[in-house]
Amino acid sequence: MENADWCNDAQLFELMRKELFTAVVGDVMDKIGLRHQFLPPYLTVLDREMIIAGRAMTVLEADVFEEVTENSANPLMAKPFGVMFEALDSLKPDDVYICTGSSPAYALWGGLMSTRATHLKAAGAVLDGYVRDSREILELGLPVASRGCYAQDQGPRGKVLDYNVPLIIGQVHVKPGDIIFGDCDGILCVPKSHEEEVIKAALEKVRGESAVRNALKDGMSTVEAFDKFGIM
């Protein structure tokens, strides 16, 4: 990917963190018919200053009812946490660990996982469930979004069944490699097939909004501003 604003993922995500916010990206996707790209509103960042921008490394979780089940037809049932460690170790720079599939009855993420993800230079984590060790996560500074904080362990309650597979969270289809973008106003998914169009349009819109903001500060009416700029 190469254009006037960025030529690789590192530059793209740095640009998004500096210039963009979820509202403007969501507005742009609405305009091109991608109207169901925000994840459910119960998913929020752990700290209001956190910004998540990276590529989805998708993780499928499921409920279980004991940590180890012997003689199961599924050998994964004898493996604590399923393939969670393999999923975590697969993270690459600028990846976002994004997990769903289980009931919201336990934590899907914690401090040690954050330590490993930080070492791997991941961009953050989005959990359709809870996190724990929140003080440790905040100290590390890893951007994390979830349903909230709840310390109950996943060990005897959940396993990762697979990773880098398609997911559905709320109404949103998330595929490996899609862009995950989140801030204090929500978490959304930009399909990889539309990312260049969406990011370019979002940059144009946010830069245009700066002109509108300055005009409003100078006393221009909202009617005049919309007629002139077509943005509000």
Return the pLDDT at 211: 78
Tell me how far apart the alpha carbons of residues 115 and 93 are, in angstroms, rounded to a whole number.
14
Torsion angles phi and psi, residue 109, rounded to 5: -155, 150
DSSP symbols for 31-87: HTT----BPPTT-EESSTT--EEEEEEEEEEEE-SSS--TT-SSGGGGSTTBTHHHH
Tell me how far apart the alpha carbons of residues 204 and 207 are, in angstroms, rounded to a whole number.
5
Read off the tokens for 164: 């880098």
Tell me how far apart the alpha carbons of residues 132 and 84 are, in angstroms, rounded to a whole number.
16
- Strand 130-131 and strand 124-127: the pairing is unpaired
| Helix and strand counts by DSSP (H, E) for the chain | 7, 13
pLDDT band at 126 (very low <50, low <70, confident <90, very high): very high
Please state which of the ranges 50-54, 169-173, 193-197, 225-229 shows the lowest mean pLDDT. Answer: 225-229
Is a pLDDT exceeding 60 seen at residue 5?
yes
Closest C-alpha to 109, from 69, 147, 141: 147
Read off the tokens for 37: 């790209």
Q: State the average pLDDT over residues 169-178.
A: 98
Residues of the chain with CATH 3.50.30.40: 38-190
Q: State what percent of residues in the chain have pLDDT above 90.
A: 87
Which residues fall within 8 angstroms of residue 47, CB to CB, at 6 or more apart?
A: 138
pLDDT in tens, 195-221: 999 999 999 999 877 777 887 888 888
Is a pLDDT exceeding 60 seen at residue 83?
yes
Return the pLDDT at 2: 52
What's the pTM? Answer: 0.92
Please state which of the ranges 92-101, 144-153, 223-232 shows the lowest mean pLDDT. Answer: 223-232
The CATH architecture one would assign to domain 38-190 is: 3-Layer(bba) Sandwich (3.50)
Q: State the average pLDDT over residues 58-87.
A: 97
pLDDT in tens, 48-60: 999 999 999 999 9
